[in-house]
Amino acid sequence: MENVLTENIIDVNKVRKEFLILKREVNGYPLIYFDNAATTQKPYRVINALVTYYELYNANIHRGVYSISVEADEAYDTAKEKVRGFINAPDSKEIIFTRGATEAINLVAYSFGRQNVNEDDEILISAMEHHANIVPWQVLCEEKKAKLKIIPINDNGEIIIDEYKKLLGPKTKLVSVCHVSNTLGTINPVKEIIRLAHEKNIPVLIDGAQAVKHIRVDVNELDADFYTFSSHKMYGPMGIGVLWGKASFLEKMPPYQTGGDMISSVKFSGTTYNDIPMKFEAGTPNVEGAIGLAAAIEFLNSTGIRQIAEHEKELLDYATEQIKTIEGVRLIGTAKNKTGVISFIVEGLSALDIGILLDTRGIAVRTGQHCTEPLMDRFEIPGTVRASFAVYNTKEEVDIFIKELKKTINMLK
Amino acid sequence: MNSKPVNEIENEIIDEFSFFEDWQDKYEYLIELGKKLKGFPEDKRTDDNKVKGCQSSVWLVANRENGSVNYKADSDSTIVKGLIALLIRVFSGQSPDDIVNAKLEFIDKIGLKQHLAQTRANGLSAMIKQMKMYALAYKTTDEIASVAKQSQN
């Protein structure tokens, strides 16, 4: 497929042609999909990659000596290599395919956590984390009688670095924070966060679920120890995600799940485990997902992540300017450095009502707590309306959104 | 007691909704009903009386009057309040038995089920369940009282 990229600007109309779903109508109106932080739509090349796999070379991998199994094998390995390049990891053996970012974090909590965290130890997360980066640590801490410490954020929704520094102590065994907040859109200064932790020899996990589709991530340059993300939030299929970890950690960590593929030899007297990454990929992996994810990476690379980020920033600024002028609107998440997420509440109105009414006009936004209940408590609000943008969204869609939002507010007031 | 039986009120609601052409109009009507629903006693706005939905909170209380059940409810969502208003219209003044046995077909027939009830978001099904629980509790109390009375005789 030819490159959509032309220098710095994105030809949105051309991009939109790859997303057939954007042609459909919802409740009699053209679909305006503004829930991209929950999941993005999939370009045709991703869908086609899945179909082609099943139509032409579906076979189980790592076992067959026959041609189509070898083809599937190669496609899976190529996908790993694509992911490696995508985040500039040193070695593709450090790429572990999981069900998603959630499973990736659970894997680290289970394997690294149970091996390295003991009574009275501490794990640091921030106040803006998604439940997926809270609950696995809570469970671990409960089990180990360890402590989960929360890095506070300011009213703009930014991590307070001075407070973070104070929390880094001799008992801290891991820092786990998001690269980008799913609710606020805040881009956290993860490089600085990692550097400060490393000064005290504390490893850092970065939850990149919301970052990889907007930011060119280089795990090597960040010097992260673990980095996690999901395919479906970056134009790829659901059901697959990535845990990248430094080989020095992964090699020492015990398996997370056991079964086929992750073993080296099984005797009734005992089992020896395979090397990484196989050690962490028990059972038949999600081959179609890997192939789809590779196609999504191609889509991102050929469109240009920097260009996508600029386009989304433009939409964000455009929408923010207009939404600020609507009476009663309060923005939640006003960090200096943020991506295409706009979260807000309207005084006296329920986010749910706004979401329901916008849907009658074909506009899909997310309402509620966005799996960040503690963050809602931090802002003392029950929930927000969240519009989140992707490469295929347009200023015209923002205009319609703003117009319908104003109507909705008038209707409810 | 409510003079009309449950299914008659349900039919009235179905009739009213049949005039609306699209969902925007149906919601507009629900919002109107929601805005009119007032008079929830402030001292009852407690966690004990809260019916938990994922994205909206509903407070619900019930009392008995001459054998029938009356409800009062409130929500932070105006649309959910509109739904409550419909439920109260159907249920209030009915006997515990009629409430427990009500199939509430109107929710399906006016299209609400398809649009709203399948999501956990609005807590509609939790609310119906809670209303029926109150009725069931009254019904059980009646039955116990009646058994006690019989054994006395």
Q: Where are the alpha helices (DSSP H) in A2-160?
A: 12-17, 44-56, 67-87, 101-108, 114-116, 135-144
pLDDT for A302-315, tens place per residue?
Answer: 999 999 999 999 99
Q: Is B31 within 8 Å of A411 when comparing Cβ atoms?
A: yes
User: From CA A376, how far away is CA A372, in angstroms rounded?
Assistant: 7
Tens digits of pLDDT across chain B (153 residues) = 556 899 999 999 999 999 998 888 999 999 999 999 998 999 999 989 988 766 788 899 999 988 899 999 999 899 989 999 999 999 999 999 999 999 888 888 887 766 665 555 557 788 888 999 999 999 998 888 888 888 876
User: In this prediction, does ipTM exceed 0.90?
Assistant: no
Is residue A40 within 8 Å of residue A235, measured between CB atoms? yes
Residues of A in contact with B59 (CB under 8 A): none
Two tokens, residue A298 = 């191609």
Closest B-chain CA to A368 = B55
Straight-line distance from the first to the last Cα atom of chain A, in angstroms, rounded to the nearest whole number? 50
Is residue A157 within 8 Å of residue A181, measured between CB atoms? yes
Q: Which of A296, A345, A371, A375 is catalytic?
A: A371
Is residue A253 within 8 Å of residue A115, measured between CB atoms? yes
Tens digits of pLDDT across chain A (413 residues) = 444 444 568 999 999 999 999 999 998 999 999 999 999 999 999 999 999 999 999 999 988 899 999 999 999 999 999 999 999 999 999 999 999 999 999 999 999 999 999 999 999 999 999 999 999 999 999 999 999 999 999 999 999 999 999 999 999 999 999 999 999 999 999 999 999 999 999 999 999 999 999 999 999 999 999 999 999 999 999 999 999 999 999 999 999 999 988 888 999 999 999 999 999 999 999 999 999 999 999 999 999 999 999 999 999 999 999 999 999 999 999 999 999 999 999 999 999 999 999 999 999 999 988 999 999 999 999 899 999 999 999 999 999 999 999 999 999 99
Q: Which of B20, B24, B28 to mutate to test the interface with A (most CBs of A within 10 A)?
A: B24
Q: Nearest by CB to A350, from B22, B27, B56: name it.
A: B56
Cis peptide before A136 (omega within 30 of 0): no
Asked if A141 is an active-site residue, the reply is no
Q: Is B116 within 8 Å of A353 when comparing Cβ atoms?
A: no
CA A69 to chain centre: 31
